[in-house]
Structure 1
Amino acid sequence: MPVQSRDVFCVSADGLQLHARETVPANPRPDADTLPVLCLPGLTRTTADFDALAQALASDAQAPRRVVAVDYRGRGLSGHDANVANYAVPVEMGDVLAIAAHLGIDRAIVVGTSRGGLIAMTMAATGSPLLAGVVLNDIGPVLEMAGLLRIKGYVGERPQPLSWADAAHGIKEMFGRDFPSLGDDDWRAWAQRSWREHDGRFTQTYDPALAQTLAGLDPQTPLPALWEAFDALRPHPLMLVHGGLSDLLSHDTVRAVAARRPDLDLVTVADQGHAPLLGDRPSQSRIAAFCARCDRIAAGAA
């Protein structure tokens, strides 16, 4: 089924330009009653991370649906914030809600990768009526210090690559151990989601000042567990996508989450680390099936 995509821009509550990428079926079925999907990326990531998933969900033969991926402030095509303190989950949640309101979305299935999952849990904790279901992509209430320190180590100003081949090599150097099955084309595609090139000059797709938000991260002061926020998801259908090689979300935490939520839809991507790329057909099919389940639950509650 053909789809069409467009860039959407609106303004945050404090006046920054915000960007989202909307993908919809080109010929939507008039009888379709499907929930939209709102995709929230990781700390330094952009809407581009969800291009493949958006194409798959919008073109699904059984239940084609609207998909909106968000650039938080300081990422992608959204404006950078001069106040680094605003690169924070509560403020970014406000950006997400502003984009949803601009697009007339009052109920959605949220797919949250890493930082996006923290935003989804914060939405639940604040009682947001937006949530109709949540997919947590390699994120949970307990974050492993090893993974946090690795992220801290690569966020910020990085050496400018000399070419796309050089950029792909740099991405592979950072993430090759965690994604051993990726090939050369995959690494180049990842590089193109991480850098922009204009007249031979490369720039990162996020504000390097984001590194300042991790400055206080210290092995001696682990982050508090977020079980209260996680438990706020209890009224909502929940899926967890776990990278089998993840150093941020441990197998012990996954087991604890599953024990707390017997209804959990759990998917493990065995050969990927933090965070699964959601570009493979099995993961996309499971997410599509979960979305269909959310549709049925929402219809039953109406």
Structure 2
Amino acid sequence: MTAGYDQGFVEQRVATADGLTLYTRIYGAGLGGLPVVCLPGLTRNSRDFHQLAIVLSTAATRPRRVITIDSRGRGRSDWDEDKSRYTLPVEAGDVVSVLDALQIDRAGFIGTSRGGLILHLLAASHADRIAGAVLNDIGPVIELEGLRQIQAYLGRDRRPDDVSEATTILKEIHGPSFPALGEGDWRDMADAIYRERDGRIVADFDPAIADQVRALDLSQPVPDLWPLFETLKQVPLMTVRGATSRLLSAETLKEMTQRAPDMEALTVPGQGHAPILHVGDIPARLAGFLDRRVR
């Protein structure tokens, strides 16, 4: 375990079942009680959760240990030589490896986009490890329009010269869906997404992951996950939806609340896919859910 390069966390590397090394951050490492584990989106990493993790781990009333994970091929975790292993089942197994390595029997979880899909799989295979879950802009039905939008921006090949230009690119691509974000929020997003590698500013993930998404055939709807949701809804559950999201529809969120009447739902104005969780009153809403229901 080593000190983090940002204040507020320590770093720990964990071996996967097939020999890769995953990077994790642990905020509030000395705290007891039920921790919170954060799972990032498709091409994102643990830096997305930094500000939220600081809030949750330093809360005055009930501070929590928070673990954030770079999935394989993202951030500071190893890239997989076998690109076919960038799959939800493999990555769900990686989460279990992290829980076992950190001796975590049960935890609350926050899953953004792909991280929330991983939670659906974990509910089927390791439901006893999930004390509660927050799904960030993801549900059992994935809209084709949203997937096409992801394909489109992953297909762009514009490479920034510095973080300032990276910030500008992000605003140009995502600005219409995120009118609530200020200049500092866009810079935070750029810092989370990009990294200097070999003297260049690059998106911080294995390009093979984007290649997989670009190769998807989106001429037909993708299979829904309602059977897995039936298991996930048995734990305390909250879903956050960006009001302008094209991946999680308002109709799907409504059906989720009908099937899971105890689920808490939060629609975030001025944000799309996926909401930035440290903006506005979202941290307080998440902390309230965790304090009330995830124990």
Q: Secondary structure at the match of 2:84?
A: helix
Q: Is the 8 A contact 1:160 1:202 kept in 2?
A: yes
What pairs with 1:251-270 in structure 2 (closer than 5 Å)? 251-270=250-269
Q: Is the 8 A contact 1:38 1:108 kept in 2?
A: yes
Gaps of 5+ in 2: 1-6
Q: Which residue of 2 aligns with 1:234?
A: 233
Confirm whether residue 72 of structure 1 aligns to residue 107 of structure 2.
Answer: no
Moved over 6 A (4+): none
Q: TM-score normalized by structure 1?
A: 0.91
**Which of 9, 14, 19 is 1:10 aligned to?**
14
Q: Is the 8 A contact 1:155 1:210 kept in 2?
A: no
Q: Is the 8 A contact 1:137 1:276 kept in 2?
A: yes
Q: Which residue of 2 aligns with 1:249?
A: 248
- Once the two structures are TM-superposed, the CA of residue 159 in structure 1 deviates from its matched residue by 2.9
Q: Secondary structure at the match of 2:275?
A: coil
- Once residues 263 and 237 of structure 1 are traced to their aligned partners in structure 2, the CA distance between those partners, rounded to angstroms, is 8
Q: Which residue of 2 aligns with 1:151?
A: 150
Q: Which residue of 2 aligns with 1:292?
A: 291
Q: CA RMSD, aligned part only? A: 1.7
Q: Which residue of 1 aligns with 2:53?
A: 54
> Any idea what the Cα deviations from partners look like across 1:226-262, whole Å, max 9, x if unmatched?
1001111132000001111100000110110011111
Q: Is the 8 A contact 2:34 2:108 kept in 1?
A: yes
Aligned length: 289
Q: What amino acid is aligned across from residue 110 of structure 1 in structure 2?
A: F
Q: TM-score normalized by structure 2?
A: 0.93
Q: Secondary structure at the match of 1:74?
A: coil
Task: Return 267-276 or 182-191, whichever deviates more.
Answer: 182-191
Q: Is the 8 A contact 1:25 1:59 kept in 2?
A: no
* Change in 2 beyond 3 A, CA 1:225/1:284: same
Task: Return 109-118 or 175-184, whichever deviates more.
Answer: 175-184
Q: Which residue of 2 aligns with 1:120?
A: 119
Q: Secondary structure at the match of 2:97?
A: helix
Q: Is the 8 A contact 2:180 2:269 kept in 1?
A: no
- Once residues 215 and 184 of structure 2 are traced to their aligned partners in structure 1, the CA distance between those partners, rounded to angstroms, is 36
Q: Secondary structure at the match of 1:91?
A: helix
Q: Is the 8 A contact 1:156 1:209 kept in 2?
A: no
Q: Is the 8 A contact 1:20 1:47 kept in 2?
A: yes
- Once residues 38 and 189 of structure 1 are traced to their aligned partners in structure 2, the CA distance between those partners, rounded to angstroms, is 21
Q: Secondary structure at the match of 1:177?
A: helix
> Any idea what the Cα deviations from partners look like across 1:6-51, whole Å, max 9, x if unmatched?
111011111111111110077x4xxx6x310000000000000000
Q: Is the 8 A contact 1:109 1:294 kept in 2?
A: no
Q: Which residue of 1 aligns with 2:27?
A: 23
Q: Secondary structure at the match of 1:203?
A: strand
Q: What amino acid is aligned across from residue 274 of structure 1 in structure 2?
A: H
Q: Secondary structure at the match of 1:188?
A: helix
Q: Is the 8 A contact 1:156 1:210 kept in 2?
A: no
Q: Is the 8 A contact 1:10 1:19 kept in 2?
A: yes
- Once the two structures are TM-superposed, the CA of residue 145 in structure 1 deviates from its matched residue by 0.5
- Once residues 55 and 294 of structure 1 are traced to their aligned partners in structure 2, the CA distance between those partners, rounded to angstroms, is 20
Q: Is the 8 A contact 1:107 1:129 kept in 2?
A: yes
Q: What amino acid is aligned across from residue 16 of structure 2 in structure 1?
A: S
